[in-house]
Chain A
């Protein structure tokens, strides 16, 4: 758990780095510069010694940005659906989802939407009794920096960090597990839909395949901390996804080092997961299904905010 928190703390640094990278070339590159870091695989059963970043949605989104994807409206879970989540389980799951949506929107400088999702995140975390130190000050800052997207990005990030810190500090692993699940699913969903159609050898597609590693550890974390039947949907979502990921082929290549155009040392090769078109489509369909269940309304009629 401590290692995970270490990773979580590193996230802002990663993102900051990514922003700096933003201005260096717009084209889609095979590998995101500076973003591919060594990862150590280990048996999923003993996650305590595994270093993996998760949720990797931020990283994914950062990579998506550097891949020069454009903003697609209508992908995020409408904030109006918040009123349909009554249990803590569905609220927590979707809080994770909304946190990811907020990051997505802020990346694409959707100021108004970002603000709206920030408010939703605050309301949901209030409902879940997640106490953020100086929460009111954070909220007030968000209200005052209404048109400044950069501020909103920082505030949103700050808020998310505090949420996770709180859960860690108070030992609410169950809640953390469910929140991470929601965040992961939403991040993967956004990535898959941004990619669009399958293209063989597309780095973006390959990156999606690599999410399997984070998923393995997330699944074991969730399995450890959920309570009972009420929380089982979270695990079943992850298992279903992992079921698809396990079918992916592993391609082994020898590693090599080269200098890129910017004279940076880049390590290439090694083992990598290969996702076929069939797998990609299956994954996308499964994500759609899971994501729908996760965000499903509990009423026969209600309203959905139109983007």
Chain B
């Protein structure tokens, strides 16, 4: 409290004094001193006492009646109250009121003006009227005069005397006195006065019978029988009193029981050692311990996200892990790290969280809930502020923490688990957050918070304390103040019984950890590495003396109602999508880069691959058909699609990992979340690829191929999106993901079929005419082939002629390569025969080859009888046989040549017809590309056929080939693929393959396969902050 405010308060006391000018001065002074001691050290109190008397003297002597009227109505008084009102917390105001009321205590009557004076102040302090009446009657006239008896609680020795009373009763054996409590709901505290002769102590300070005291969090009343120091009275704790008042308001309170709960990490004995503990609604439980003692692990055990290796957690008699799905709805978990979307505002962050928990409520109701909560947390006035990163500092650390809390509070969980709520905060912010948590207990929640080394003011807020030591060993469970006594006693401290400092009221929580972790001292006076008392011993002491003995499942009780407003899958998807979209749009840097990347890359690629062959009239003239770089452009387009897809998705999930884990914890739909991500990524990739195709194709004058290119590039980019999402979901480190990107891209480049033709790979990898299997898992191979084939086959020049070109190619292959080769083989066989070649195996191979081919050939041209017999009976061949075969093959060749001429003639008819309608030269110039034609017909391929398993296999003009494999395998650049008995165009087939890859990757992502694999192989580190 400030100096100015204190002076104003003192002035108020001076005004109060004026009502009873005849009261002993000492009495009033003692009341004022008692008040001031709460705020000042003793040496400063006298100064304010002097100020008090100065104000009294300043008041001019008048008739008593006149003065009383004046003080009530005086504008100055009201102004005084207004000034005080703006400076004091509500609790402090109640404290002031209590002391002011003491001025009027002790007499049988209280004058109406005096009462009105007090009421005026109470009204000014916004104290509810009924409560103020209870308050003043309790203070001035005693508990019997309080109208609302249900607001009272009495601590008595024998509760049977009070069975028919309307107030609460707590019984204490051997207690002969009477403690009267009044509940002040507006201030969340109690006041009491004591009647009796037994010595009673409020936190070690002796209680004066008849005097009123506040009873706040962390307070306890203890004592002993008069004259019998060894007969202690059982202490009365704040939470016990609070529970008496609050539990009645909660129809279904929660009871938590931990029964020999233990956990150890795989491959280790470390974790949480078995312990038992219980707590219930209205309690604020602190889990205290040094770093690495298992606080967070314990919280995760309590929220059900990890399964204990021993023991149980019961909630109202239901095993948490057996009824996990249902009970999880009752539990709120706030991890240490942020769960906020930095691009969204405070309001939006909470709003979307609210929608995900209560989406089925009407929109207006959700807005109202959000508004109410923001008001409660003191965030309403900055609700439109963007959250931003920690570094940006848009909102303070305390505001961040409160917002994180609000994400859980909006769900109204019955049990709230909070991990390190004050870490990284200033002391004020910490207190604010803890007060917020305390308020939640008053609403009936059980709040369990882990905390490292709380300050005294925070420590006092806890109702129960769990202390953990090394190896997850529980060393204490119980009242926080008693914890100090416990540890100090075991440590043989001189002032072991002192809980809080008698001067400042400090409750030093750090003492507990200091005692536990105290080191031995060696003879040199230095601290030795080993502790005075190892953790194991502390744990054993706890087990022997403090651990509850009541084991086994408790009685099952009704659970609090579960949230029935969780939205269905469709609504969840919608909410995820809106949230994610908004988050991306608000991130201007991301948006700009994403939208600019595609056109910039298109410009660069198209510009540098635009080969200008020139014409005699214009050396820089561009002719599409002579742009030999077109295949490079197609290939690089695929790589660009892969690259952009990976970039836009690989950071997606990892940046929200904790949010994803939380939403998983909340049983929100994983598929809904993933599909919303995919929807947005698809939109982004689609836009990028559309821009890329429009720009690139325009520059390179690629006509009539916009949509086919777009679909291929979009499918490729989306495949990369899926791959990136899998990485983002499975790998915990951003750096690892970025390092992996080139490891993904390079094989795609290598096995695309462009950089190295497939037949030039290592012999063990290639099959001969089919791409190697490793290439078949590369999206680049499918995408590039699709583009190349589509461009070649379906351009306006080639499309009407493709079928006849294919026939022409077929016959040309037979006339020019296949049959001449067989004839050549026969010639070589003849040579072998003449030379009686010792390498008979070579000769036999060739015979086998020729025989196999003849068996096929005879299906369309019957073999002469003599030859047929030699072939079918597998008799040894003679010169005559060979001669007959060669004649047959030459005849076959001439026959195929005639067919070739017929096909060519038919082609010429088609060309003539086309020439009637189009300028063919222009058409060819604008649509047919020589560079691409060379690539897909493999013009430079020297070996037009290869021998595989004693068969001649065509390796010639693959684009015109009709493959024989029924499962889609075909030479690279084949224009069709065969599936069963159906022929499917390569463009369609390859697109289907790409989408199939996407489908597979989606399911891998859904089941988080990569993460599970890496975890199983112990290749993952900790989650990246």
Q: Are A303 and B901 in contact (CB under 8 A)?
A: no
Residue interface mask B881-922, A partner, CB < 8 A = 1: 000000000000110011011101101110110010001111
Known contacts A87-B908, A88-B908; is A299 also within 8 Å of B893 by CB? no
Q: Is the CB of B921 within 8 A of A303?
A: no
Complex: how many Å from CA A227 to CA B893?
Answer: 20
- Known: A86-B921, A299-B922, A300-B919; 19 extra A-B contacts, CB below 8 A, are A83-B924, A83-B925, A86-B920, A129-B808, A129-B812, A129-B815, A129-B816, A136-B942, A170-B894, A170-B897, A171-B898, A174-B901, A227-B901, A228-B905, A231-B905, A298-B921, A299-B919, A299-B920, A303-B617
B616, A306: Cβ atoms under 8 Å? yes
Let me know if A298 and B901 touch, CB within 8 A. Answer: no
How many Å lie between the Cα of A222 and that of B380 in the bound state?
Answer: 98
Q: Which residues of B contact A120 (CB under 8 A)?
A: none
Q: Is the CB of B908 within 8 A of A230?
A: yes
Q: B901 contacts A175, CB within 8 Å? A: yes
At the interface, yes or no: A193 with Cβ under 8 Å from chain B? no
Ranked 3 nearest A-B pairs via Cβ: A299-B921, A131-B816, A170-B897
Residues B616 and A88 in contact, CB atoms below 8 Å apart: no
Which residue of chain A is the closest to B901 with respect to CB atoms?
A174
* Closest CB in chain A relative to B935 CB, distance in Å: 15
List, in ascending order, chain A residues with CB within 8 A of B112's CB.
none
Give Cα A115 to B441, complex, Å: 97
Is B300 in the interface zone, CB < 8 Å from A? no
Chain A residues positioned under 8 Å from B942 (CB to CB): 136
Q: How far is the CB of B900 from chain A (nearest CB, A)?
A: 7
Interface mask (B602-625 → A, CB under 8 Å = 1, otherwise 0): 000000000000011100000000
Residues of B within 8 Å of A171, CB to CB, are: 894, 897-898
Tell me, yes or no, whether A84 is within 8 Å of chain B by CB: yes
8 contacts between A and B (CB under 8 A): A86-B924, A88-B908, A89-B908, A131-B815, A131-B820, A170-B815, A230-B909, A299-B919
Name the A residues within 8 Å of B919 (CB-CB): 298-300
Provided the pairs A87-B912, A170-B893, A171-B898 are in contact, do residues A298 and B920 lie with their beta carbons within 8 angstroms? yes
The answer to whether the Cβ of B817 comes within 8 Å of any Cβ in the partner chain is yes
Over the window 280-306 of chain A, the binary record of Cβ atoms lying under 8 Å from chain B Cβ atoms (1 yes, 0 no) is 000000000000000001111011011
- Classify chain A's interface size: 20 to 34
Q: Which of A136, A175, A302 contacts B921 (CB 8 A)?
A: A302
Whether the pair A298, B908 counts as a contact (CB closer than 8 A) is: no
- Could you say which residues of chain B place their CB within 8 Å of the CB of A174? 901, 905
Is A48 among interface residues, defined by CB-CB distance under 8 A?
no
Residues of A near any B CB (own CB < 8 A) = 83-84, 86-89, 126, 129, 131, 136, 170-172, 174-175, 227-228, 230-231, 297-300, 302-303, 305-306
Residue of B nearest to A299 (CB): B921
Q: What number of residue pairs across chains A and B have CB atoms under 8 A from each other? A: 69
Distance, CA A106 to CA B911, complexed state (A) = 34
Tell me whether A230 and B905 are in contact (CB under 8 A). Answer: yes
Complex formed: what's the CA distance from A208 to B812 in Å? 39
Q: Complex formed: what's the CA distance from A299 to B922 in Å?
A: 7
Q: Which chain B residue shows the least CB distance to A126?
A: B939
Residue in A126, A172, A298 whose CB lies within 8 Å of B897: A172
Expressed in whole angstroms, the minimum distance between the Cβ of B76 and any Cβ of chain A is 103
For B939, the chain A residues whose CB sits under 8 A away are: 126
Hey, which chain B residues are within 8 Å of A231, CB to CB? 905
State in angstroms the CA–CA spacing of A297 and B898 once bound together. Answer: 29
Instruction: Tell me the nearest residue of chain A to B815, going by C-beta.
Output: A170
Q: How far is the CA of A294 from the CA of B258 in the complex (A)?
A: 101
A172 to B901, Cβ gap below 8 A? yes
Residue on B with the closest CB to A302?
B921
Residue of B nearest to A166 (CB): B816
Name B's interface SS. Answer: helix
Give residues in B with beta carbon < 8 Å to A. 615-617, 808, 812, 815-817, 820, 893-894, 897-898, 900-902, 904-905, 907-909, 911-912, 915, 919-922, 924-925, 939, 942
- Please determine whether A84 and B921 come into contact, CB atoms closer than 8 angstroms: yes
B901 and A86 contacting across the interface, CB-CB below 8 Å: no
Least Cβ–Cβ distance between B619 and chain A, in angstroms:
12
| B617: chain A residues within 8 A (beta carbon) | 303
Bound CA span A86–B893, Å:
26
Q: How far is B912's CA from A172's CA once the two chains are assembled, in angstroms?
A: 22
Residue in chain B with minimal CB distance to A132: B816
Which residues of the partner chain B approach A297 to less than 8 Å between Cβ atoms?
921
Closest to B904 in A: A88
Contact A303 B616 (CB under 8 A): yes
Closest B residue to A92 by beta carbon equals B904
A305:B616 contact, CB within 8 angstroms: yes
Given the complex of chains A and B, what is the CA–CA distance between A306 and B616 in angstroms?
8
CA distance A226 to B919 in the complex (A): 26
Complex CA gap A230/B901 in Å reads: 13
Residues of B within 8 A of A228 (CB): 905
B818 to chain A, nearest CB (A): 11
Distance in angstroms between the alpha carbons of A228 and B904 in the assembled complex? 12
Residue of A nearest to B939 (CB): A126
Please, which residue of chain A has its CB at the minimum distance from the CB of B908?
A87
Shortest Cβ distance from residue A305 to the other chain B in the assembled complex, whole angstroms: 7
What CA separation (Å) do A87 and B911 show in the bound complex?
6
Cβ of A63 to closest chain B Cβ, rounded Å? 34
A30 CB to closest chain B CB (Å) equals 44
Chain A residues positioned under 8 Å from B900 (CB to CB): 129, 172
Q: Which residue of B lies closest to A130 (CB)?
A: B816
A174 CB to closest chain B CB, in angstroms? 5
Residue numbers in B under 8 Å from A83 (CB-CB): 921, 924-925
- Point out the residue from A89, A299, A303 that lies within 8 Å of B615, measured CB to CB: A303
B921 to chain A, nearest CB (A): 4
CA distance A303 to B621 in the complex (A): 12
How far, in whole Å, are A302 and B921 apart by their CA atoms in the complex? 8
- Collect the chain A residues with CB atoms within 8 Å of residue B820's CB: 131
CA distance A88 to B897 in the complex (A): 14
Shortest Cβ distance from B942 into A: residue: A136
Q: Which A residues are in CB contact (< 8 Å) with B925?
A: 83
Q: With CB as the reference atom, state the residue of chain A lying closest to B819.
A: A170
Q: For A87, list chain B residues within 8 Å (CB).
A: 907-908, 911-912
Question: How far is the CB of B653 from the nearest CB of chain A, in Å?
Answer: 54
Name which residue of chain A comes closest to B811, CB basis. Answer: A129
Interface-centre pick from A89, A126, A305 (highest chain B CB count, 10 A): A89
Q: Please give, as numbers and ranges, the residues of chain A lying within 8 Å of B924 by CB-CB distance.
A: 83, 86
On chain B, the residues within 8 Å of A129 by CB distance are 808, 812, 815-816, 900
Q: Using Cβ atoms and an 8 Å threshold, which residues of chain B touch A302?
A: 921
Distance of A294 Cα from B907 Cα, bound (Å): 19
Give Cα A268 to B894, complex, Å: 45
User: B909 to chain A: which residues have CB within 8 Å?
Assistant: 230
Q: A230-B905, A297-B921, A306-B616 are in contact. Are A86 and B911 (CB under 8 A)?
A: yes
